[in-house]
Structure 1
Amino acid sequence: MRFFLFIIITLNFACIKGNKIPKDVIPQNQMRKIMWDLMRADAYVTDFVMKDSTRNQKEESTKLYERIFDIHATTLETFKKSLVFYQSRPDLFKAISDSLRVDEQRSQQYPAEKKSQIIDTTLRKMRFNKKLIEKKP
């Protein structure tokens, strides 16, 4: 009976996955920021680079990705390893993808809310610059 109880307890502890993230995996918040920047880089390449026939889409993407990894002080290998880890843990990956979705919704709302303020500020700057130019002899 003791042996059977020991096996059940051992299996129970062996099957429990903790929410601990290994040290060599990028933390969730940092991973979200990196993925957000990568998505924005892809959007830039899709919207602007693809329309320019003199630029190579793959080279531009690679340059942008390398720069993003440099900004976040990580490497492509670390990112891939972290991505595989989070994809194997749907509960953690869902939190990242949900926060990315919220970030995307916020980025779409910003221009609509601030558009009149941005235009107003731009007009003020233009008027001010025009006055400065007129005052010069």
Structure 2
Amino acid sequence: MMNFRKIAGVVLLSVLFACGQADKTPADVIPPDKMRDILLDMNYAEIYGRDPGVDTTRVADSVRELNIKKYYVQILQLHKVSKDEFMHSYRYYEAHSDKLEVIYKQMQDIVKSRRDVMDSIEKRESDRKFGIEKRTHWDSLYCPTDSMRLILP
């Protein structure tokens, strides 16, 4: 009976300890925030590499793919991560799809906020260029305050 209690206690403690470790990322895996930044940079690099407007000459797809791979290497160097570390971490996050989903959701939020900033800058530039302060009395939308005065002799 005493042996059964010891075994049950050890099993219970093991289960509790394992449950507490469920959300933690192993030490040999890139942390989620850093992985998010790397994947975000890689997505930007892929978009840039596939954009036909970037190159003024026609480039074969194989050359584009090679350039994108060069960008990936540079991104990993920038983040001080080796290819093996990245691949190991990416496989881990693929196996834990809930964590990868959180990373992609954060990436989506970052892209949306950056897009909102760029849109507001473009709107401000457009308003500055075509806004009210640039209108003259010849514009149909400009109505000077003294135009409402009745002019009678």
* Same fold? TM cut 0.5: yes
CA distance in 2, matches of 1:65, 1:115: 30
1:27-68 deviation digits (Å, cap 9, x = unpaired): 111111000000001111121368842361111111111111
Equivalent residue, structure 2, for 1:26: 30
User: Which letter maps to 1:2?
Assistant: R
Identity of aligned residues (%): 20
Q: How many residues align?
A: 121
Equivalent residue, structure 1, for 2:73: 66
Of 97, 104, 113, which residue of structure 2 is paired with 1:90?
A: 97
Of 109, 115, 119, which residue of structure 2 is paired with 1:102?
A: 109
Q: More displaced, 111-120 or 33-42? A: 111-120
Equivalent residue, structure 1, for 2:47: 43
In angstroms, what is the RMSD of aligned CA positions?
A: 2.7
Equivalent residue, structure 2, for 1:5: 8
- Compute the TM-score of the two structures, normalised by the length of structure 1: 0.72
Equivalent residue, structure 1, for 2:59: 54
Gaps of 5+ in 2: 130-153
- Compute the TM-score of the two structures, normalised by the length of structure 2: 0.65
Q: CA separation of 1:13/1:101 partners in 2, compared to 1, >3 Å: closer, same or farther?
A: same
